[in-house]
Amino acid sequence: MDHHLTPLDVTQLPSWNALHQHRQDLAGFNLRQAFSDDPERFRQFSHSACGLLLDFSKNLVRTDTLELLVKLAEEAQLGDAIKAMFRGDVINASERRPALHTALRRPIGDKVRVDGVDVMPEVHRVLHQMTELVGYVHNGLWRGYTEKPITDVVNIGIGGSFLGPQLVSEALLPFAQKGVRCHYLANIDGSEFRELACRLNAETTLFIVSSKSFGTLETLKNAQAARAWYLAQGGSEEELYRHFIAVSSNKEAAIAFGIREENIFPMWDWVGGRYSLWSAIGLPIAMSIGISNFKELLSGAYSMDQHFQTTPFERNIPVILGLLGVWYGDFWGAHSHAILPYDYYLRNFTDHLQQLDMESNGKSVRQDGSPVSAGTGPVIWGGVGCNGQHAYHQLLHQGTQLIPADFIVPVSSYNPVADHHQWLFANCLSQSQALMLGKSHEEAEAELRAKGLPEDEVQRLAPHKVVPGNRPSNTLVMERISPRRLGALIAMYEHKVYVQSVLWGINAFDQWGVELGKELGKGVYSRLTGQDEALAEDGSTQGLIDFFRARHRG
């Protein structure tokens, strides 16, 4: 069944029209009212799985909304599409590939075939290869060119070869093994390189060149700079193998760079960059937290995979989140979605989700190349609470746009300081509460009068104090962040993204849009450096090139 390759038009499904009608019926829906009408609302609209509690009761939904959304998913044949992904069908149609990141977290003994070959033995062979390397480094057996043990690991990579590993290794700092520090070098910016290099000792630093393609400009430039730095610090070409390893599916290019074949960890074309932290791209994670914690991360993701495959849609957490996103984007005109983790350790979560969601679902054509008939992926943005409360939450509360938000918060802190965590948790809950409750004109007036303000002041200030409320959010709560729960949380969002892509009929696993900028970059570079004196295609770019050339000093 190839319906995901010649997708159904979601807007032509009976439930799509029914949802439009339903949206009209909900014009006067009020969350405050819904909660006072139904004391069971929280219980009814919250589910737990894999160590996560999802409270989605503060959404603009009734029971019949959920029923309609679930019906839409059924009409879009989501169940078949989920099976197709886990089975290894070619769901990435433009690149003619399966998307099998889920195979990376399956237990030994499972079978997953790609082109008739079971990939699981290779997946576990690489995990074993990672185990060995991490053990060598952690036990001081992997030595640099002066025989000193490795103290610093630098991951050179960008996009999916950076964001996922950075998120996880920093989120799991309480699990970090002593003795090895992890660093990330992503951007093609000399300042980033210099600021990092001045903190490193070449004798004890191991670079991981992390690039599925081994053709990414930023990564290759940084890898060359790192090699030049290592040589300048006293390292030799002969000992280079002690300081540079690679993770890539392009073995030839990694060897040509000077990396020994046995130090190249494979990647496969059936794992997309933004879904690759579970593979050897996760080496810096394992270097930081140790291989058994890395395996815990995998098993957390695996438990979410099980939940996603086996739970009826109405209780299936990634399915619910995906459907709610479609509900707001296509029926309420929401264009963005805020991700608001209330936890220092999750401070990079939004960055990872930005790539995961926006590179996956930022598409305008369907799998078969025909234009989409509905709005697709939203802008993902946000950042760590409470900082956002003193910055952009104002727009969430009183701006003109409807912006659904996900609040993510652990119940306990690894670092209790006085009553900080109680306050952090209280802030998280009160933000979603304020978004939902708002403040009416009457309430604003009453508040101002209670302060003893004269009536003209009350009338002058009241409109500014009105908060519309009725703004939707999800709250995801867990005990402390652990490798297992974090694995489940990340996998949950991967599946949410997939659910939406299936409904919209788009390919979540290609990213052709980013190629154009890369192609044009070469032409601009040649003109900036005077290798090509031809005028740029447009006056703006040419004007900026001229400005650069007249002033550039280094």
What minimum distance in Å lies between the beta carbon of 239 and ligand F6P?
26
Burial class (CB in 10 A: 0-12, 13-18, 19+), 443: middle
Cis status of the peptide bond prior to 386, with omega within 30 of 0: yes
Q: How many CA atoms lie within 13 A of 460 on its CB side?
A: 5
Q: Is 166 in the site for ligand F6P (CB under 6 A)?
A: no
Q: For ligand F6P, give the closer residue by CB, 267 or 536.
A: 267
Interacting stretch for ligand F6P, rule CB under 6 A, among 21-29, 208-216, 287-295, 492-500? 208-216
Q: Count the Cβ atoms, other than its own, within 10 Å of residue 178.
A: 6
| Given the residues 178, 390, 464, 552, the one annotated as active site | 390
Q: Is 439 in the site for ligand F6P (CB under 6 A)?
A: no
Subset of 35-94 contacting ligand F6P (CB under 6 A): none
N-to-C CA span, the chain: 57
Q: For ligand F6P, give the closer residue by CB, 10 or 506.
A: 506
State the amino acid at position 158 in one-letter form. Answer: I
* Residue choice 7, 51, 144, 160 for contact with ligand F6P (CB under 6 A): 160
Distances (CA, A) of 242 to 145, 230, 238, 263, 379: 7, 11, 9, 9, 42
Q: Is 377 in the site for ligand F6P (CB under 6 A)?
A: no
Binding mask 319-358 for ligand F6P (x = CB under 6 A): ----------------------------------------
Interacting stretch for ligand F6P, rule CB under 6 A, among 6-14, 69-77, 131-139, 206-214? 206-214
Place of tokens 């409360």: 389
- Return phi, psi of residue 58, to 5°: -90, 45
Q: Is 211 in the site for ligand F6P (CB under 6 A)?
A: yes
3-state SS record for 220-236:
HHHHHHHHHHHHHCCCC
Subset of 241-300 contacting ligand F6P (CB under 6 A): 273-274
| CA distance linking residue 407 with residue 340, whole number of Å | 5
DSSP for 412-429, written as a single string: S-SS--TTHHHHHHHHHH
* Residue choice 361, 431, 474, 511 for contact with ligand F6P (CB under 6 A): 511
| Given the residues 335, 451, 518, 522, the one annotated as active site | 518
Interacting stretch for ligand F6P, rule CB under 6 A, among 37-45, 120-128, 213-221, 377-385? 213-221
* Residue choice 158, 168, 200, 264 for contact with ligand F6P (CB under 6 A): 158
Under 8 Å between Cβ of 253 and 215: yes
Binding-site ranges for ligand F6P (CB under 6 A): 158-161, 211-213, 216, 219, 273-274, 359, 511, 514
Active-site residue set: 359, 390, 518
